[in-house]
Structure 1
Amino acid sequence: MSISGPKTKTFKRIGQYTALAGYLVFLAFPLVWLISTSFKDPRELVELHPSLIPRHPTLQNYVTAFTEQDLARSALNSLIVASASALLTVLLALPAAYALVRFRTRLSTPILGWVLVSQLFPFVLLVIPLFLILKAVALTDTRFGLIVVYVTWSLPFALWMLQGFVRGIPRELEEAAAVDGASRLQVLRQVVAPLLAPGLVATSLFAFISGWNEFFFALVLLKSPELATLPVTLARFVGVEGIARLGPLAAGSLLATLPSLVFFALLQRRLAEGSLAGAVKG
Protein backbone atom coordinates (compact mmCIF):
# COMPACT_ATOMS: atom_id res chain seq x y z
CA MET A 1 0.00 0.00 0.00
CA SER A 2 2.83 2.37 0.81
CA ILE A 3 4.33 1.77 -2.68
CA SER A 4 1.20 1.86 -4.79
CA GLY A 5 -0.23 4.88 -2.99
CA PRO A 6 2.33 7.45 -4.21
CA LYS A 7 2.29 5.93 -7.72
CA THR A 8 -1.47 6.20 -7.86
CA LYS A 9 -1.32 9.84 -6.79
CA THR A 10 1.39 10.54 -9.37
CA PHE A 11 -0.60 9.01 -12.23
CA LYS A 12 -3.71 10.83 -11.06
CA ARG A 13 -1.87 14.14 -11.02
CA ILE A 14 -0.39 13.49 -14.47
CA GLY A 15 -3.89 12.77 -15.78
CA GLN A 16 -5.24 15.97 -14.22
CA TYR A 17 -2.48 18.12 -15.71
CA THR A 18 -2.89 16.44 -19.10
CA ALA A 19 -6.64 17.12 -19.09
CA LEU A 20 -6.01 20.72 -17.99
CA ALA A 21 -3.43 21.23 -20.76
CA GLY A 22 -5.84 19.82 -23.34
CA TYR A 23 -8.61 22.09 -22.10
CA LEU A 24 -6.32 25.14 -22.29
CA VAL A 25 -5.33 24.24 -25.85
CA PHE A 26 -9.01 23.84 -26.74
CA LEU A 27 -9.78 27.30 -25.35
CA ALA A 28 -6.72 29.01 -26.81
CA PHE A 29 -6.90 27.57 -30.34
CA PRO A 30 -9.58 30.00 -31.68
CA LEU A 31 -7.56 32.97 -30.41
CA VAL A 32 -4.33 31.58 -31.87
CA TRP A 33 -6.03 30.99 -35.22
CA LEU A 34 -7.47 34.52 -35.12
CA ILE A 35 -3.99 35.95 -34.58
CA SER A 36 -2.64 33.84 -37.42
CA THR A 37 -5.40 34.93 -39.79
CA SER A 38 -4.84 38.61 -39.00
CA PHE A 39 -1.26 38.40 -40.31
CA LYS A 40 -1.98 36.46 -43.52
CA ASP A 41 -2.11 38.00 -46.97
CA PRO A 42 -5.20 37.52 -49.19
CA ARG A 43 -3.65 34.62 -51.10
CA GLU A 44 -3.08 32.55 -47.99
CA LEU A 45 -6.60 33.19 -46.77
CA VAL A 46 -8.16 31.44 -49.77
CA GLU A 47 -5.93 28.36 -49.73
CA LEU A 48 -7.63 25.00 -49.34
CA HIS A 49 -5.07 23.83 -46.76
CA PRO A 50 -4.09 26.90 -44.71
CA SER A 51 -1.19 26.72 -42.29
CA LEU A 52 -1.22 27.98 -38.73
CA ILE A 53 1.94 30.05 -39.17
CA PRO A 54 1.67 32.71 -41.92
CA ARG A 55 4.21 32.13 -44.68
CA HIS A 56 4.27 35.81 -45.65
CA PRO A 57 3.30 37.83 -42.53
CA THR A 58 1.86 41.24 -43.22
CA LEU A 59 0.40 44.15 -41.26
CA GLN A 60 -1.79 45.27 -44.15
CA ASN A 61 -4.89 43.80 -42.55
CA TYR A 62 -4.47 46.08 -39.54
CA VAL A 63 -3.85 49.09 -41.78
CA THR A 64 -6.98 48.27 -43.78
CA ALA A 65 -9.07 47.75 -40.65
CA PHE A 66 -8.17 51.20 -39.29
CA THR A 67 -8.25 53.15 -42.54
CA GLU A 68 -11.50 51.81 -43.99
CA GLN A 69 -13.50 51.81 -40.74
CA ASP A 70 -13.28 54.16 -37.78
CA LEU A 71 -12.36 51.46 -35.29
CA ALA A 72 -10.92 53.89 -32.75
CA ARG A 73 -14.19 55.82 -32.40
CA SER A 74 -16.23 52.62 -32.36
CA ALA A 75 -13.98 51.19 -29.64
CA LEU A 76 -14.44 54.37 -27.60
CA ASN A 77 -18.22 54.11 -28.00
CA SER A 78 -18.17 50.49 -26.86
CA LEU A 79 -15.91 51.34 -23.93
CA ILE A 80 -18.21 54.15 -22.76
CA VAL A 81 -21.37 52.08 -23.11
CA ALA A 82 -19.94 48.89 -21.57
CA SER A 83 -18.26 50.67 -18.63
CA ALA A 84 -21.31 52.77 -17.81
CA SER A 85 -23.68 49.82 -18.03
CA ALA A 86 -21.40 47.69 -15.83
CA LEU A 87 -21.18 50.42 -13.19
CA LEU A 88 -24.93 51.07 -13.14
CA THR A 89 -25.70 47.34 -13.08
CA VAL A 90 -23.53 46.79 -10.01
CA LEU A 91 -24.88 49.88 -8.22
CA LEU A 92 -28.48 48.72 -8.76
CA ALA A 93 -27.92 45.01 -8.18
CA LEU A 94 -26.06 45.34 -4.86
CA PRO A 95 -28.85 46.88 -2.72
CA ALA A 96 -31.50 44.83 -4.52
CA ALA A 97 -29.67 41.55 -3.83
CA TYR A 98 -29.10 42.53 -0.20
CA ALA A 99 -32.77 43.35 0.26
CA LEU A 100 -33.91 40.07 -1.30
CA VAL A 101 -31.68 38.02 1.00
CA ARG A 102 -31.97 39.91 4.27
CA PHE A 103 -35.63 40.99 4.06
CA ARG A 104 -37.44 37.76 3.31
CA THR A 105 -41.13 38.07 2.33
CA ARG A 106 -43.66 35.97 0.47
CA LEU A 107 -42.59 37.69 -2.74
CA SER A 108 -38.88 36.87 -2.40
CA THR A 109 -39.09 33.44 -4.04
CA PRO A 110 -41.42 34.55 -6.90
CA ILE A 111 -39.14 37.52 -7.56
CA LEU A 112 -36.08 35.29 -7.86
CA GLY A 113 -38.06 32.93 -10.07
CA TRP A 114 -39.09 35.80 -12.32
CA VAL A 115 -35.46 36.94 -12.47
CA LEU A 116 -34.48 33.58 -13.94
CA VAL A 117 -37.47 33.38 -16.28
CA SER A 118 -36.71 36.84 -17.66
CA GLN A 119 -33.40 35.53 -18.98
CA LEU A 120 -35.24 33.07 -21.23
CA PHE A 121 -36.79 35.76 -23.43
CA PRO A 122 -35.02 35.99 -26.80
CA PHE A 123 -33.72 39.30 -28.10
CA VAL A 124 -36.13 39.28 -31.05
CA LEU A 125 -39.18 39.43 -28.77
CA LEU A 126 -37.78 42.38 -26.82
CA VAL A 127 -36.26 44.63 -29.43
CA ILE A 128 -39.53 46.05 -30.85
CA PRO A 129 -41.08 46.97 -27.45
CA LEU A 130 -37.76 48.43 -26.31
CA PHE A 131 -37.43 50.43 -29.52
CA LEU A 132 -40.94 51.85 -29.15
CA ILE A 133 -40.37 52.76 -25.50
CA LEU A 134 -37.04 54.46 -26.21
CA LYS A 135 -38.55 56.27 -29.18
CA ALA A 136 -41.37 57.60 -27.00
CA VAL A 137 -38.83 59.15 -24.59
CA ALA A 138 -36.45 60.30 -27.37
CA LEU A 139 -33.64 57.92 -26.41
CA THR A 140 -33.18 56.09 -29.70
CA ASP A 141 -29.86 56.69 -31.46
CA THR A 142 -28.22 57.75 -28.18
CA ARG A 143 -25.55 56.20 -26.01
CA PHE A 144 -27.68 56.67 -22.91
CA GLY A 145 -30.58 54.76 -24.45
CA LEU A 146 -28.28 51.86 -25.28
CA ILE A 147 -26.86 51.94 -21.75
CA VAL A 148 -30.39 51.71 -20.33
CA VAL A 149 -31.08 48.66 -22.50
CA TYR A 150 -27.85 46.96 -21.46
CA VAL A 151 -28.52 47.61 -17.78
CA THR A 152 -32.05 46.26 -18.15
CA TRP A 153 -30.74 43.13 -19.84
CA SER A 154 -27.82 42.49 -17.45
CA LEU A 155 -29.52 43.39 -14.18
CA PRO A 156 -31.55 40.18 -13.61
CA PHE A 157 -28.57 37.86 -13.94
CA ALA A 158 -26.36 40.24 -11.94
CA LEU A 159 -29.00 40.24 -9.20
CA TRP A 160 -29.04 36.46 -9.19
CA MET A 161 -25.25 36.30 -8.96
CA LEU A 162 -24.96 38.81 -6.12
CA GLN A 163 -27.71 37.33 -3.98
CA GLY A 164 -25.71 34.10 -3.86
CA PHE A 165 -22.67 36.00 -2.58
CA VAL A 166 -24.78 37.88 -0.01
CA ARG A 167 -26.06 34.57 1.40
CA GLY A 168 -22.46 33.60 2.14
CA ILE A 169 -21.88 36.55 4.48
CA PRO A 170 -22.57 35.68 8.15
CA ARG A 171 -25.32 37.72 9.72
CA GLU A 172 -23.18 38.01 12.87
CA LEU A 173 -20.92 40.53 11.15
CA GLU A 174 -23.87 42.78 10.34
CA GLU A 175 -25.32 42.37 13.82
CA ALA A 176 -22.00 43.35 15.37
CA ALA A 177 -21.90 46.50 13.25
CA ALA A 178 -25.50 47.29 14.19
CA VAL A 179 -24.66 46.93 17.89
CA ASP A 180 -21.90 49.50 17.38
CA GLY A 181 -24.53 51.94 16.14
CA ALA A 182 -24.23 51.51 12.36
CA SER A 183 -27.36 52.08 10.31
CA ARG A 184 -28.57 49.62 7.69
CA LEU A 185 -27.08 51.78 4.93
CA GLN A 186 -23.76 51.98 6.75
CA VAL A 187 -23.75 48.22 7.22
CA LEU A 188 -24.32 47.75 3.50
CA ARG A 189 -21.61 50.24 2.54
CA GLN A 190 -18.96 49.54 5.17
CA VAL A 191 -19.43 45.86 5.99
CA VAL A 192 -21.28 44.04 3.21
CA ALA A 193 -19.83 45.79 0.16
CA PRO A 194 -16.13 45.16 1.07
CA LEU A 195 -16.86 41.49 1.76
CA LEU A 196 -18.65 41.21 -1.58
CA ALA A 197 -15.59 42.39 -3.53
CA PRO A 198 -15.15 39.09 -5.44
CA GLY A 199 -18.86 39.00 -6.27
CA LEU A 200 -18.87 42.63 -7.37
CA VAL A 201 -15.86 42.01 -9.60
CA ALA A 202 -17.48 38.95 -11.16
CA THR A 203 -20.71 40.84 -11.73
CA SER A 204 -18.97 43.85 -13.26
CA LEU A 205 -16.99 41.55 -15.55
CA PHE A 206 -20.19 39.90 -16.72
CA ALA A 207 -21.91 43.24 -17.35
CA PHE A 208 -18.89 44.78 -19.08
CA ILE A 209 -18.28 41.85 -21.42
CA SER A 210 -22.00 41.61 -22.22
CA GLY A 211 -22.09 45.28 -23.20
CA TRP A 212 -18.77 45.15 -25.05
CA ASN A 213 -19.74 42.18 -27.23
CA GLU A 214 -23.44 42.96 -27.78
CA PHE A 215 -24.42 43.46 -31.41
CA PHE A 216 -28.15 43.13 -32.00
CA PHE A 217 -29.48 45.97 -29.81
CA ALA A 218 -26.71 48.32 -30.97
CA LEU A 219 -27.52 47.56 -34.60
CA VAL A 220 -31.23 48.31 -34.15
CA LEU A 221 -31.11 51.27 -31.77
CA LEU A 222 -28.15 53.23 -33.15
CA LYS A 223 -28.38 54.76 -36.62
CA SER A 224 -25.68 57.45 -36.58
CA PRO A 225 -22.31 56.13 -37.85
CA GLU A 226 -20.43 58.14 -35.23
CA LEU A 227 -22.30 56.28 -32.44
CA ALA A 228 -21.70 52.77 -33.82
CA THR A 229 -20.17 50.30 -31.38
CA LEU A 230 -17.29 48.02 -32.23
CA PRO A 231 -19.32 44.86 -33.07
CA VAL A 232 -21.49 46.86 -35.48
CA THR A 233 -18.42 48.36 -37.17
CA LEU A 234 -16.75 44.96 -37.50
CA ALA A 235 -19.87 43.63 -39.23
CA ARG A 236 -19.20 46.06 -42.08
CA PHE A 237 -16.29 43.89 -43.19
CA VAL A 238 -18.92 41.40 -44.37
CA GLY A 239 -20.27 42.40 -47.77
CA VAL A 240 -23.90 42.45 -48.83
CA GLU A 241 -23.31 39.15 -50.61
CA GLY A 242 -22.26 37.58 -47.32
CA ILE A 243 -18.59 37.36 -48.32
CA ALA A 244 -16.36 38.27 -45.40
CA ARG A 245 -13.02 40.00 -45.76
CA LEU A 246 -11.28 37.66 -43.37
CA GLY A 247 -7.99 39.51 -43.01
CA PRO A 248 -9.29 42.93 -41.86
CA LEU A 249 -12.11 41.25 -39.95
CA ALA A 250 -9.63 39.09 -38.03
CA ALA A 251 -7.40 42.08 -37.32
CA GLY A 252 -10.31 44.17 -36.04
CA SER A 253 -11.72 41.27 -34.01
CA LEU A 254 -8.34 40.68 -32.37
CA LEU A 255 -8.13 44.34 -31.38
CA ALA A 256 -11.69 44.11 -30.05
CA THR A 257 -10.70 41.33 -27.63
CA LEU A 258 -7.89 43.32 -26.01
CA PRO A 259 -10.00 45.58 -23.72
CA SER A 260 -11.83 42.58 -22.27
CA LEU A 261 -8.51 40.85 -21.57
CA VAL A 262 -7.07 44.00 -19.99
CA PHE A 263 -10.21 44.54 -17.91
CA PHE A 264 -10.07 40.96 -16.67
CA ALA A 265 -6.32 41.17 -15.95
CA LEU A 266 -6.82 44.28 -13.83
CA LEU A 267 -9.64 42.77 -11.79
CA GLN A 268 -8.82 39.07 -11.67
CA ARG A 269 -6.76 39.45 -8.49
CA ARG A 270 -9.88 40.52 -6.66
CA LEU A 271 -11.59 37.32 -7.77
CA ALA A 272 -8.97 35.25 -5.96
CA GLU A 273 -9.34 37.06 -2.65
CA GLY A 274 -11.30 35.44 0.13
CA SER A 275 -14.76 36.86 0.60
CA LEU A 276 -14.06 37.32 4.31
CA ALA A 277 -10.49 38.59 3.96
CA GLY A 278 -11.21 41.88 5.70
CA ALA A 279 -13.68 40.67 8.28
CA VAL A 280 -11.19 40.31 11.15
CA LYS A 281 -9.56 43.45 12.45
CA GLY A 282 -7.20 43.96 15.32
Structure 2
Amino acid sequence: MRTRPAARAGQYAALLAYLAFLAFPFLWLVSVAFKPARELGSLHPTWIPEHPTLANFRQAFGEQPLLHAAANSLLAAVGAAAVAVVVATPTAYVMARRLTRAVSGWVVVSQAFPFVLVIIPLFLVLKNLRLIDSLPGLVLVYVVWALPFALWMLVGHVRAVPVELEEAAAIDGAGRLRTLVSVTAPLLAPGIAVTGLFAFVTAWNEFFFALVLLKSARKQTLPVVLTHFIGAEGVADLGPLAAAASLATLPSLVVFAIVQRRITGGVLAGAVKS
Protein backbone atom coordinates (compact mmCIF):
# COMPACT_ATOMS: atom_id res chain seq x y z
CA MET A 1 0.00 0.00 0.00
CA ARG A 2 2.84 2.38 0.76
CA THR A 3 4.31 1.92 -2.68
CA ARG A 4 1.25 3.30 -4.45
CA PRO A 5 2.08 7.01 -4.01
CA ALA A 6 5.63 6.37 -5.16
CA ALA A 7 4.41 4.37 -8.16
CA ARG A 8 1.93 7.09 -9.07
CA ALA A 9 4.62 9.75 -8.74
CA GLY A 10 6.83 7.69 -11.03
CA GLN A 11 4.02 7.42 -13.56
CA TYR A 12 3.50 11.18 -13.52
CA ALA A 13 7.23 11.76 -13.88
CA ALA A 14 7.39 9.41 -16.86
CA LEU A 15 4.37 11.12 -18.42
CA LEU A 16 5.92 14.57 -17.97
CA ALA A 17 9.18 13.34 -19.48
CA TYR A 18 7.29 11.92 -22.46
CA LEU A 19 5.37 15.17 -22.94
CA ALA A 20 8.61 17.13 -22.78
CA PHE A 21 10.11 14.80 -25.38
CA LEU A 22 7.13 15.38 -27.70
CA ALA A 23 7.01 19.14 -27.14
CA PHE A 24 10.74 19.78 -27.52
CA PRO A 25 10.85 20.07 -31.35
CA PHE A 26 7.92 22.49 -31.49
CA LEU A 27 9.17 24.62 -28.58
CA TRP A 28 12.63 24.84 -30.11
CA LEU A 29 11.11 25.72 -33.49
CA VAL A 30 9.14 28.59 -31.93
CA SER A 31 12.24 29.75 -30.07
CA VAL A 32 14.26 29.85 -33.30
CA ALA A 33 11.46 31.71 -35.07
CA PHE A 34 11.76 34.64 -32.64
CA LYS A 35 15.55 34.82 -32.58
CA PRO A 36 17.47 37.46 -34.57
CA ALA A 37 20.16 36.41 -37.00
CA ARG A 38 22.96 37.09 -34.54
CA GLU A 39 21.51 34.72 -31.95
CA LEU A 40 20.91 32.03 -34.57
CA GLY A 41 24.64 31.98 -35.32
CA SER A 42 25.70 31.98 -31.68
CA LEU A 43 27.94 29.21 -30.41
CA HIS A 44 25.94 29.13 -27.17
CA PRO A 45 22.25 28.86 -28.11
CA THR A 46 19.64 29.67 -25.49
CA TRP A 47 16.12 28.36 -24.97
CA ILE A 48 14.54 31.78 -24.69
CA PRO A 49 15.52 34.47 -27.23
CA GLU A 50 17.49 37.24 -25.56
CA HIS A 51 16.24 39.82 -28.07
CA PRO A 52 12.99 38.44 -29.52
CA THR A 53 11.95 39.83 -32.86
CA LEU A 54 9.21 39.44 -35.47
CA ALA A 55 11.63 40.07 -38.32
CA ASN A 56 11.68 36.39 -39.29
CA PHE A 57 7.89 36.35 -39.67
CA ARG A 58 7.89 39.55 -41.74
CA GLN A 59 10.65 38.18 -43.96
CA ALA A 60 8.90 34.83 -44.36
CA PHE A 61 5.60 36.39 -45.44
CA GLY A 62 7.42 38.91 -47.62
CA GLU A 63 9.46 36.33 -49.53
CA GLN A 64 6.88 33.56 -50.08
CA PRO A 65 3.08 33.41 -50.60
CA LEU A 66 2.53 31.54 -47.35
CA LEU A 67 -1.13 32.52 -46.88
CA HIS A 68 -2.08 31.41 -50.38
CA ALA A 69 -0.15 28.15 -49.97
CA ALA A 70 -1.82 27.58 -46.60
CA ALA A 71 -5.22 28.09 -48.23
CA ASN A 72 -4.34 25.49 -50.87
CA SER A 73 -3.24 23.04 -48.17
CA LEU A 74 -6.40 23.70 -46.17
CA LEU A 75 -8.65 23.05 -49.16
CA ALA A 76 -6.80 19.85 -50.01
CA ALA A 77 -6.77 18.62 -46.41
CA VAL A 78 -10.42 19.40 -45.67
CA GLY A 79 -11.53 17.94 -49.00
CA ALA A 80 -9.52 14.76 -48.48
CA ALA A 81 -10.80 14.33 -44.91
CA ALA A 82 -14.43 14.86 -45.91
CA VAL A 83 -14.34 12.50 -48.89
CA ALA A 84 -12.40 9.86 -46.97
CA VAL A 85 -14.95 9.86 -44.14
CA VAL A 86 -17.94 9.73 -46.52
CA VAL A 87 -16.45 6.84 -48.50
CA ALA A 88 -14.90 4.93 -45.61
CA THR A 89 -17.92 4.85 -43.28
CA PRO A 90 -20.33 2.73 -45.39
CA THR A 91 -17.46 0.70 -46.84
CA ALA A 92 -16.13 -0.16 -43.38
CA TYR A 93 -19.64 -1.15 -42.31
CA VAL A 94 -19.91 -3.63 -45.19
CA MET A 95 -16.43 -4.98 -44.54
CA ALA A 96 -17.15 -5.50 -40.83
CA ARG A 97 -20.57 -7.08 -41.24
CA ARG A 98 -20.27 -8.98 -44.52
CA LEU A 99 -16.61 -9.67 -45.31
CA THR A 100 -13.92 -11.65 -43.55
CA ARG A 101 -10.98 -10.29 -41.57
CA ALA A 102 -8.63 -11.41 -44.33
CA VAL A 103 -10.13 -8.77 -46.62
CA SER A 104 -9.36 -6.08 -44.05
CA GLY A 105 -5.82 -7.38 -43.85
CA TRP A 106 -5.34 -7.09 -47.60
CA VAL A 107 -6.60 -3.50 -47.45
CA VAL A 108 -3.94 -2.61 -44.90
CA VAL A 109 -1.23 -4.36 -46.92
CA SER A 110 -1.77 -1.78 -49.67
CA GLN A 111 -0.23 0.80 -47.33
CA ALA A 112 3.09 -1.02 -47.55
CA PHE A 113 3.73 0.17 -51.11
CA PRO A 114 6.15 3.14 -51.15
CA PHE A 115 5.27 6.50 -52.70
CA VAL A 116 7.77 6.08 -55.53
CA LEU A 117 6.15 2.83 -56.64
CA VAL A 118 2.65 4.28 -57.04
CA ILE A 119 3.41 7.79 -58.24
CA ILE A 120 3.81 6.82 -61.93
CA PRO A 121 0.47 4.95 -62.21
CA LEU A 122 -1.27 7.77 -60.31
CA PHE A 123 0.33 10.36 -62.58
CA LEU A 124 -0.86 8.52 -65.70
CA VAL A 125 -4.40 8.15 -64.34
CA LEU A 126 -4.60 11.83 -63.41
CA LYS A 127 -3.17 12.78 -66.79
CA ASN A 128 -5.93 10.85 -68.57
CA LEU A 129 -8.50 12.54 -66.32
CA ARG A 130 -6.86 15.94 -66.95
CA LEU A 131 -6.37 16.48 -63.25
CA ILE A 132 -2.63 17.12 -63.27
CA ASP A 133 -1.71 20.44 -61.65
CA SER A 134 -5.08 20.79 -59.95
CA LEU A 135 -6.22 20.68 -56.34
CA PRO A 136 -9.11 18.26 -57.10
CA GLY A 137 -6.59 15.80 -58.53
CA LEU A 138 -4.42 16.19 -55.44
CA VAL A 139 -7.45 15.61 -53.20
CA LEU A 140 -8.24 12.44 -55.15
CA VAL A 141 -4.71 11.15 -54.58
CA TYR A 142 -4.89 11.97 -50.87
CA VAL A 143 -8.19 10.12 -50.54
CA VAL A 144 -6.82 7.05 -52.33
CA TRP A 145 -3.75 7.04 -50.12
CA ALA A 146 -5.61 7.59 -46.83
CA LEU A 147 -8.56 5.29 -47.52
CA PRO A 148 -6.95 1.88 -46.69
CA PHE A 149 -5.83 2.97 -43.23
CA ALA A 150 -9.13 4.81 -42.67
CA LEU A 151 -11.03 1.62 -43.51
CA TRP A 152 -8.87 -0.41 -41.16
CA MET A 153 -9.56 2.04 -38.35
CA LEU A 154 -13.31 2.20 -38.90
CA VAL A 155 -13.77 -1.55 -39.32
CA GLY A 156 -12.61 -2.02 -35.74
CA HIS A 157 -15.08 0.57 -34.50
CA VAL A 158 -17.95 -1.00 -36.47
CA ARG A 159 -17.22 -4.42 -34.96
CA ALA A 160 -17.35 -2.85 -31.50
CA VAL A 161 -20.96 -1.73 -32.06
CA PRO A 162 -23.35 -4.38 -30.68
CA VAL A 163 -25.22 -6.19 -33.43
CA GLU A 164 -28.26 -6.27 -31.14
CA LEU A 165 -28.78 -2.55 -31.72
CA GLU A 166 -29.08 -3.12 -35.47
CA GLU A 167 -31.38 -6.08 -34.93
CA ALA A 168 -33.62 -3.93 -32.74
CA ALA A 169 -33.72 -1.28 -35.46
CA ALA A 170 -34.60 -3.94 -38.04
CA ILE A 171 -37.48 -5.14 -35.84
CA ASP A 172 -38.75 -1.54 -35.78
CA GLY A 173 -38.78 -1.58 -39.57
CA ALA A 174 -35.53 0.27 -40.35
CA GLY A 175 -33.64 -0.76 -43.47
CA ARG A 176 -29.89 -1.15 -43.84
CA LEU A 177 -29.31 2.46 -44.88
CA ARG A 178 -31.55 3.85 -42.14
CA THR A 179 -29.84 1.64 -39.57
CA LEU A 180 -26.41 2.82 -40.69
CA VAL A 181 -27.36 6.51 -40.61
CA SER A 182 -29.53 6.57 -37.48
CA VAL A 183 -28.08 3.81 -35.28
CA THR A 184 -24.55 2.81 -36.25
CA ALA A 185 -23.09 6.11 -37.50
CA PRO A 186 -23.74 8.05 -34.25
CA LEU A 187 -21.95 5.32 -32.30
CA LEU A 188 -19.04 5.54 -34.72
CA ALA A 189 -18.49 9.23 -33.95
CA PRO A 190 -15.13 8.67 -32.18
CA GLY A 191 -13.87 6.49 -35.04
CA ILE A 192 -15.12 8.93 -37.67
CA ALA A 193 -13.43 11.79 -35.81
CA VAL A 194 -10.12 9.91 -35.65
CA THR A 195 -10.41 8.98 -39.33
CA GLY A 196 -11.09 12.55 -40.34
CA LEU A 197 -8.21 13.77 -38.19
CA PHE A 198 -5.85 11.21 -39.71
CA ALA A 199 -6.85 12.13 -43.26
CA PHE A 200 -6.57 15.87 -42.53
CA VAL A 201 -3.14 15.70 -40.89
CA THR A 202 -1.81 13.35 -43.58
CA ALA A 203 -2.96 15.66 -46.37
CA TRP A 204 -1.82 18.81 -44.57
CA ASN A 205 1.72 17.52 -44.05
CA GLU A 206 2.10 15.63 -47.34
CA PHE A 207 4.94 16.79 -49.57
CA PHE A 208 5.90 14.24 -52.23
CA PHE A 209 2.62 14.00 -54.15
CA ALA A 210 2.15 17.77 -54.07
CA LEU A 211 5.67 18.32 -55.38
CA VAL A 212 5.19 15.93 -58.32
CA LEU A 213 1.59 16.70 -59.28
CA LEU A 214 1.43 20.48 -58.85
CA LYS A 215 3.43 22.55 -61.29
CA SER A 216 1.92 26.04 -61.00
CA ALA A 217 3.32 28.24 -58.26
CA ARG A 218 -0.18 29.48 -57.37
CA LYS A 219 -1.38 25.93 -56.68
CA GLN A 220 1.49 24.72 -54.51
CA THR A 221 0.75 23.63 -50.98
CA LEU A 222 2.46 24.85 -47.83
CA PRO A 223 4.99 21.99 -47.40
CA VAL A 224 6.24 22.61 -50.95
CA VAL A 225 6.53 26.35 -50.40
CA LEU A 226 8.54 25.78 -47.22
CA THR A 227 11.30 24.22 -49.32
CA HIS A 228 11.80 27.59 -51.03
CA PHE A 229 13.57 28.81 -47.89
CA ILE A 230 16.39 26.37 -48.68
CA GLY A 231 18.92 27.64 -51.19
CA ALA A 232 20.35 25.84 -54.19
CA GLU A 233 23.37 24.72 -52.16
CA GLY A 234 21.22 23.32 -49.35
CA VAL A 235 21.75 26.28 -47.00
CA ALA A 236 18.52 27.08 -45.14
CA ASP A 237 17.34 30.55 -44.26
CA LEU A 238 16.82 29.30 -40.74
CA GLY A 239 14.92 32.17 -39.12
CA PRO A 240 12.20 32.66 -41.77
CA LEU A 241 11.97 28.87 -42.27
CA ALA A 242 11.35 28.33 -38.55
CA ALA A 243 8.77 31.13 -38.52
CA ALA A 244 6.88 29.66 -41.47
CA ALA A 245 7.16 26.09 -40.17
CA SER A 246 5.86 27.04 -36.71
CA LEU A 247 2.79 28.60 -38.28
CA ALA A 248 2.33 25.52 -40.48
CA THR A 249 2.01 23.29 -37.41
CA LEU A 250 -0.83 25.29 -35.83
CA PRO A 251 -3.77 23.95 -37.91
CA SER A 252 -2.96 20.35 -37.00
CA LEU A 253 -2.79 21.25 -33.31
CA VAL A 254 -6.06 23.18 -33.46
CA VAL A 255 -7.91 20.41 -35.30
CA PHE A 256 -6.63 17.80 -32.84
CA ALA A 257 -7.68 19.96 -29.86
CA ILE A 258 -11.20 20.24 -31.29
CA VAL A 259 -11.58 16.59 -32.25
CA GLN A 260 -10.12 15.33 -28.96
CA ARG A 261 -13.28 16.25 -27.06
CA ARG A 262 -15.34 14.15 -29.42
CA ILE A 263 -12.94 11.22 -29.19
CA THR A 264 -13.00 11.11 -25.40
CA GLY A 265 -16.73 11.75 -25.08
CA GLY A 266 -19.00 9.01 -23.86
CA VAL A 267 -20.95 8.61 -27.09
CA LEU A 268 -22.20 5.15 -26.16
CA ALA A 269 -24.10 6.55 -23.19
CA GLY A 270 -27.80 6.13 -23.73
CA ALA A 271 -27.36 4.19 -26.96
CA VAL A 272 -29.38 1.18 -25.86
CA LYS A 273 -33.04 1.60 -26.57
CA SER A 274 -35.14 1.62 -23.43
Counterpart in the other structure of 1:101: 96
Contact 2:165-2:272 at 8 Å conserved across structures: no
Equivalent residues in 2 for 1:21-40, closer than 5 Å: 21-40=16-35
Residue 19 of structure 1, aligned match among 5, 11, 14: 14
Shift of 1:55: 1.3
Question: TM-score, structure 1 length as denominator?
Answer: 0.95
Counterpart in the other structure of 1:216: 208
Query: Which aligned segments of 4 or more residues in structure 1 are displaced greater than 3 angstroms?
Result: none
Equivalent residues in 2 for 1:94-133, closer than 5 Å: 94-104=89-99, 108-133=100-125
1:272 aligns with 2:267: no
| 2-structure distance, mates of 1:263, 1:191 | 26
The farther-off stretch of 21-30 and 270-279 is: 270-279
Contact 1:81-1:147 at 8 Å conserved across structures: yes
Contact 1:201-1:271 at 8 Å conserved across structures: yes
1:9 aligns with 2:4: yes
1:52 aligns with 2:47: yes
Counterpart in the other structure of 2:227: 235
Amino acid at match of 1:102: R
Counterpart in the other structure of 2:241: 249
Residue 162 of structure 2, aligned match among 170, 174, 198: 170
Shift of 1:154: 0.1
Shift of 1:205: 0.4
1:89 aligns with 2:81: no
Contact 1:195-1:278 at 8 Å conserved across structures: no
Contact 1:89-1:204 at 8 Å conserved across structures: yes
Counterpart in the other structure of 2:75: 80
| 1-structure distance, mates of 2:264, 2:246 | 27
| 1-structure distance, mates of 2:119, 2:41 | 37
Contact 1:35-1:251 at 8 Å conserved across structures: yes
Contact 2:189-2:267 at 8 Å conserved across structures: yes
Amino acid at match of 2:183: V
Shift of 1:275: 4.3
Question: TM-score, structure 2 length as denominator?
Answer: 0.98
Identity of aligned residues (%): 59
Structure 2: runs of 5 or more not aligned: none
- Cα distance per residue 1:82-134 (max 9 Å; x no partner): 00000000111111110011113xxx344212212111111111111111111
Residue 139 of structure 2, aligned match among 136, 147, 150: 147
Residue 189 of structure 1, aligned match among 181, 188, 197: 181
Shift of 1:251: 0.5
Shift of 1:281: 5.2
| 1-structure distance, mates of 2:209, 2:253 | 23
Counterpart in the other structure of 1:207: 199
Query: Superposition RMSD on alpha carbons, in Å?
Result: 1.1
Query: How many residue pairs were aligned?
Result: 274
